[in-house]
Structure 1
Amino acid sequence: MLEHGGRLRAASLRYGIALANWLDLSTGIAPYGWPLPAIPASAWARLPEQQDGLENAARDYYGVSNLLPVAGSQAAIQALPRLVRNVTVGIVSPAYAEHAAAWQREGHKLLEISEGAIERALERLDVLLLVNPNNPTGRRIEPQRLLDWHARLAERGGWLVVDEAFVDCTPEHSLAAFSERPGLIVLRSFGKFFAMAGIRLGFVLAQPALLEQLAELLGPWAISGPSRVVASALLQDHAGQRVQRERLLVDGERLAALLGAQGLTATGGCALFQFCCTPRAAELHEFLATKGILTRLFSSPSSLRFGLPADEAGWQRLQQALALFAKECP
């Protein structure tokens, strides 16, 4: 199993700090949401049914005609490599590590490439996969460049797979509107923007034929009845989405400013996290953890990813801990 952010119980055991006393900035998940709808008893008692409105609500939210709900975009990440055989896959790196692991697991040839190497590598690829905005760097590639790459791949039956887990605050950068084009597959996460990672819900946007293959592979009842009720309501709550988007954008800028004021100028990021490259990443990660603040550490490059604090107390706690690090570990 690959390591991920959010392993709070493991951190609690390692550092001897109770779960309730942690400030978890390790995940890039929105730290606040909004009131949830009541769940009827029938959602618990009956098998889920597709005619309950979830698909329609999601189509409206993403602005598409065809999509497939999945048990978190992770389910699609693991299943997509099983729909093809013996292909060459280029993954723009660094990236969310589960992508590379899934394609390698199915025996495909994997090339980890930089953004600058895509043009040179494209003719050798059957599949180009990238995260946009990137996780963990926050780097964003403009839609037209992505569509140009897709067109070149699609000419010979290739795929462009774009993981848009962090794009909800900037939907103008999404390729959702183009997802019916042959060979274009867009993955969307529900839990990050809506602050509901535990619901385990994501969506695949693509041509109907590919979605049918994926649905057959994943099997029936992939999404629980209660999850479908909650997600349907939130996907239709346009006022709540607007408030959430505005707050996250403001807080993303605040986090970048806070880090910069403490000598940690962000080298990338988006509304949900900031990314800082520093040779002292491991040292700072350890120092913050001893103070009950969990960040996401990366070794290549040496860097930290900071998620958003949930409240003012969290903002002050992070600022004070960073100031203390600068004082005690100059």
Structure 2
Amino acid sequence: MTQSWTFHGGDLAAAKRHFGDCGAPWIDLSTGINPHPWPGAAEMPIDWQRLPEPGALAALEAVAAAYFGVDPQYVCAVPGTEIGLRLAGRLIGGAAHHIAPGYRTHAAMIEASTAIGWSALADRHGTIVFANPGNPDGRVSDPAALRALLDRHGGDGWLLVDEAFADFDEALSIASSIDDARRLILFRSFGKFFGLAGVRLGFVLGPRSFLGDLRALLGAWPLSAAAIKIGTAAYADGDWIAAARRSLPVQAATLDALLSERGYVATGDCPLFRLIRTNRAHDLFYRLARRAILTRPFADAPQWLRIGLPTGDAALARLRAALADG
């Protein structure tokens, strides 16, 4: 199994090099990105000759803060959640625990971090890193339980919650718990729900003193003019956001039914992807890839395969045929 496919989704170039064109356009189901992106980005005029104005960055953070349900003073825009996670880990340091299996950066962002399972979460102290919803399993944790964990946690380390996939249900976020007195930091992604990962935009939510240190590391002009303008417009588009929140669960249910036809049980509550468990997961990965369909296998969980949402009826039909042919 090629490491690039198990390390992170989206390495379509590696798949094309290995499998060729397969006689059909590739369908990339290896990521958890909305296949129906916010539509306004392509037509948006961008001034490429000027550096972004500080007021434009502040406006982006304000409209994003309103979307997250938190005061703008607790929001810092970053050029992608990946960078936000790693800079936060650098600032916090020390010992930590991270939920595994999980997003690889959660293990890497704090050097002295050790892996724990979900069952051990409530008994741990110190800095803890996990995602809600989980990645890659799509597990959703009850926000009330997370707030209770935060209260028990007190000031012993930090609670770091990656909410990169929380946008489909605003009730999942614990952003309202952010304030200067709590050692809570949240990470939010723009690219996944809005389907525009190439914009490279994310947000860190936390106490003002922490965000001050983060801004010092980011320096001047941390975001491109394009990221600022696209993000500001997209977060303000309430009609599109509401429509996406209605349609994504419907698309996920369609994928569930397709997988069930072939005897696979789809798990996870995040509508942007599904996880199946089978002893032949790697064989299934190769079978789909030979038909130009890229999914996400896992080196540390060889019985898992994560499958993103197909785009439209034609992609669903190709996936159905590929699953049946084997």
Q: In which range does the TM-score fall when normalised by the shorter chain? A: over 0.9
Alpha-carbon distance between aligned partners in 1 of 2:240 and 2:204, rounded to the nearest angstrom: 23
1:328: which partner in 2? none
Instruction: Look up the match of 1:112.
Output: 115
Residue by residue, what CA displacement relative to the aligned partner does 1:3-41 show, whole Å, maximum 9, x if unpaired?
210100110010011797101100010011232154445
**1:101 and 2:102 matched:** no
Query: Following superposition of structure 1 onto structure 2, how do residues 5-84 of structure 1 map, counting pairs within 5 Å?
Result: 5-17=9-21, 21-36=25-40, 38-41=43-46, 43-52=47-56, 53-65=59-71, 66-84=74-92
Deviation at 1:44, TM superposition (A): 1.3
Aligned pairs for 1:180-195 (under 5 A) are 180=179, 181-195=181-195
Q: Output the CA distance in 2 between the equivalents of 1:137 and 1:300.
A: 13
Q: Structure 2: how far apart are the matches of 1:33 and 1:313?
A: 18
Measured in 1, the distance between the counterparts of 2:20 and 2:32 equals 24
Q: CA deviation at 1:211?
A: 0.7
Name the count of aligned residue pairs: 315
Q: 2:126 aligns to what? A: 126
SS in 2 for 1:89: strand
Q: Quick check: 2:22–2:290 contact (8 Å CA) kept in 1?
A: no
SS at match of 1:78: helix
Q: Quick check: 2:140–2:269 contact (8 Å CA) kept in 1?
A: no
Partner of 1:173: 172
C-alpha contact 1:9 1:19 (8 A) present in aligned 2: no
- Distance in 2, matches of 1:74 and 1:223, equals 14
Tell me if the contact between 1:29 and 1:272 (Cα under 8 Å) persists in the aligned partners.
yes
Does the 8 Å contact 1:26/1:295 carry over to 2?
yes
Question: What code does the residue aligned with 1:200 have?
Answer: R
Q: Is the 8 A contact 1:281 1:297 kept in 2?
A: yes
- Give the CA RMSD over aligned residues: 1.7
In structure 1, distance between residues paired with 2:183 and 2:88: 12
Task: Verify the 8 A CA contact 1:88 1:127 in the aligned structure 2.
Answer: yes
Q: List runs of 5+ in structure 2 lacking aligned partners.
A: none
Q: Write the distance in 2 (CA, Å) between the matches of 1:256 and 1:215.
A: 42
Please identify runs of 4+ aligned residues in structure 1 that moved more than 3 A: 37-41
Using the alignment, how far apart are the partners of 2:122 and 2:68 within structure 1? Answer: 29
Q: Determine the C-alpha separation between the residues in 2 that align with 1:299 and 1:248.
A: 28
Residue type of the alignment partner of 2:207: Q
Which residue of structure 2 aligns with residue 315 of structure 1? 316
Whether the 8 Å contact between 1:70 and 1:223 is mirrored in structure 2 is yes
Q: For 1:134, what is the secondary structure of its paired residue? A: coil
CA distance in 2, matches of 1:136, 1:225: 32
Q: Is the 8 A contact 2:138 2:274 kept in 1?
A: yes
Alignment check: 8 A CA contact 2:24 2:291 kept: no
Q: Give unmatched runs, 5+ long, in structure 1.
A: 326-330
1:127 and 1:159 in contact (8 A); partners too = yes
Deviations 1:261-281 (A, max 9, x none): 211101324110000111110
* Equivalent residue runs for 1:242-261 within 5 Å: 242-261=242-261
Provide the C-alpha distance between the structure 2 equivalents of 1:44 and 1:304, rounded to a whole number of angstroms: 41
CA gap 1:168/1:19 in 2 versus in 1, 3 angstroms: farther
Structure 2 letter corresponding to 1:177: S
Alignment correspondent of 1:162: 161
**How far apart are 1:299 and its partner, in Å?**
3.2
Q: Say whether the 8 Å CA contact 1:76–1:204 is kept in structure 2.
A: yes
- After superposing the two structures, state which structure 1 stretch, 17-26 or 296-305, moved more: 17-26
